[in-house]
Structure formats: structure tokens, C-alpha cells
Amino acid sequence: MEYTYTVTCFEAGQTLVSFKQPPASLENPALTETKSSWHQFLTDFFADGSLPPSALQAIFEPMRTPTVDSMMVVGQLGQTMDGRIATVTGQSKYINGQSGLTHLHQLRALLDTVVVGVGTALADDPLLNVRLVSGKHPARVVIDPKGKLSPTARVWTADGARRLWIVSEGIEVSAPEGVEVVALPALGGRIEPRDILSSLAGKGLKRILLEGGAETVSRFLQAGCLDRLHLIVAPILMGSGRASLNLPAIEHMDQALRLQVHTHQLGNEVLFDCDLSPQRVKIA
């Protein structure tokens, strides 16, 4: 017999993932409220053998419970050792190898919404769904203030996931059926990241993966709108290309952002899990 088995894990009523068949160790979803069963959940869910269970727990535990408000916003960028996320022509497939990509899909499966800037949607025409691990497709959101993206972009593919097109107020787009258009106020073409998150929270989307690109992650970071930043550093030197972050220039080292960081080995890549919660503004 085939049936759907839903695990609510983060907050009451919030679906983490649905299985066609329940894994044997998850007979009682309520048990996922405890640390040991969360550990067991991760072990079973991501049992591809690439990481030991203790490593999975160490990576994903910090994003399990929001600390500032009811939202959890995680930025991610895959970069070279010299801090590049794409070549000068904008090509980024693939800076990360299998381990880094698996990690990205694990993030998509564990958070409920993936957000990208229109630069990424235009350059990569990404699907933004979950393919390399088990899990539910997240809602997909593109920040596109001027409405530049095509209605035929792959991110709008109707596959059961929610799809949201964020534009500036007054911009008209021909949204495909089922795509929600969200118009937000913009100043000088910029929408406040806080307004974006608050709008998503109002639609029940509170677990956000900000998947790039550089400009989008930089704006959220600068606005204090990230709880965590996952930088996945690949053993590559590019020596040119697009920088992973673009923040206002500083003159003195004491103005630089110094972070609480945990590092994790992902195959031959290193995940820097940066805790930005001390500077995160309250949203919802």
C-alpha cells in the first residue's frame, strides 16, 4: 500500500517533508520534537552515506529553531577559495562538486522557500527544486523589481510548488497561471529586504533559503536580514570573476564584519556556517 506520511518538525502545523512510505524509525512524527529523533530523522532522510550522522546533526541543528523571531533566513553561496561565485561571463555551473551540491539540495528540502535575484534567474534559468536528495520542492521566489524575467522561465514550471514573482509596485508582468505576483514598494529600484521577508511571512513562508546571487545575498546581509550564511568553498582559484559579496567599502579592519563561524568538511569542500543572528533585525 502506498500512502503519504507527513513529518511536522519545525513548528506546529508546518510540514517539513512528506514521504510516500514512512521510514521505519519515524513511526511517530511527534518524536521529531526531541533532539535524538531529529538526529534520527536527518540520518534516515539524508542517508546517502556522504556524511556521518553526527556531521549532519552539527550542520542542520542550528537552523532548526529560530532565535530572533519566527523566521529562519539562510543565505548560501558556493564560491572559490578566492571568493568568486561566477566567471566574468556569469557562468557558475559548477563551482561546487557533488558534496556541495548535495548540501544545497538538503537546504532546499529542509527550508520551505527558495529565493533568488533576477540576475540568477536570467543567467542560470534554474529549476530550484529538490533533485539530489529526498524531499518536498520548496516554494520558489524571484526578486525581479523591473519584471525582466520571461513567463517561460523554468522557475515558473508548474510542479505543485508555490511560485512567487516579486516586482516593484506599478510593474506589470504576464504571470503564468498559478504564479503569485507580489508588488512591493521600491525606492530607487530597491525593495527593502525586510519588506520582502515580511511579505513572505504573511503568506506562511517563514523558512527561507536565499540562494543567490551575490547582489541579492549582499543586500540581505547589509540589511541585517540573514540568520545564517552558508559559504561553501571549493578548492578552486579563479583569479577573476564575480565576487561573492559586494558590501560598502571600509577603510579600517575594525569596520569589517567578524563572525561566529563553524566549519564542516563536505568532501573536498569546506562549509563555513556563519551565525549572523546577533545582527539580524526582527521581521515577523
Ligand X SMILES: NC(=O)c1ccc[n+]([C@@H]2O[C@H](COP(=O)([O-])OP(=O)(O)OC[C@H]3O[C@@H](n4cnc5c(N)ncnc54)[C@H](OP(=O)(O)O)[C@@H]3O)[C@@H](O)[C@H]2O)c1
Q: How far is the CB of 18 from ligand X (least distance, A)?
A: 27
Q: How far is the CB of 139 from ligand X (least distance, A)?
A: 17
Binding site residues, ligand X, CB under 6 A:
77-78, 85-86, 90, 92, 95, 116-120, 123-124, 143, 145-146, 148, 189-191, 193, 211-216, 219, 242
Q: How far is the CB of 131 from ligand X (least distance, A)?
A: 16
Helices 98-110/53-60 angle, 10° precision: 60
Name 266's bridge partners: 269
Residue 77 or 107: which CB sits closer to ligand X?
77
Residue 51 or 85: which CB sits closer to ligand X?
85
Q: How far is the CB of 34 from ligand X (least distance, A)?
A: 34
Q: How far is the CB of 153 from ligand X (least distance, A)?
A: 13
Q: How far is the CB of 4 from ligand X (least distance, A)?
A: 32
Alpha-carbon distance 211 to 223, whole Å?
A: 16
Of 279, 284, 114, 70, nearest in space to 198 by CA: 284
Residue 90 or 97: which CB sits closer to ligand X?
90
Residue 84 or 137: which CB sits closer to ligand X?
84
72 contacts 206 by C-beta, under 8 angstroms: yes
Quote the cell numbers at residue 132: 539530489
Looking only at Cα atoms, what is the longest distance across the chain? 65
**Dihedral of the CA atoms 154, 156, 158, 159 (nearest 10)?**
70
Residue 242 or 280: which CB sits closer to ligand X?
242
Sheet containing 269-275, strands listed edge to edge, beginning at the edge strand earlier in sequence? 179-184, 163-168, 139-143, 113-117, 207-212, 72-80, 228-234, 269-275, 260-266
Quote the cell numbers at residue 118: 533576477
Residue 9 or 182: which CB sits closer to ligand X?
182
Pairing between β-strand 260-266 and β-strand 242-243 as defined by DSSP bridges? unpaired
Give the three-class secondary structure for 216. Answer: helix
Q: How far is the CB of 133 from ligand X (least distance, A)?
A: 18
Residue 7 or 128: which CB sits closer to ligand X?
128
Alpha-carbon distance 26 to 3, whole Å?
A: 14
Q: How far is the CB of 118 from ligand X (least distance, A)?
A: 4
Residue 72 or 77: which CB sits closer to ligand X?
77
Name 273's bridge partners: 230, 262
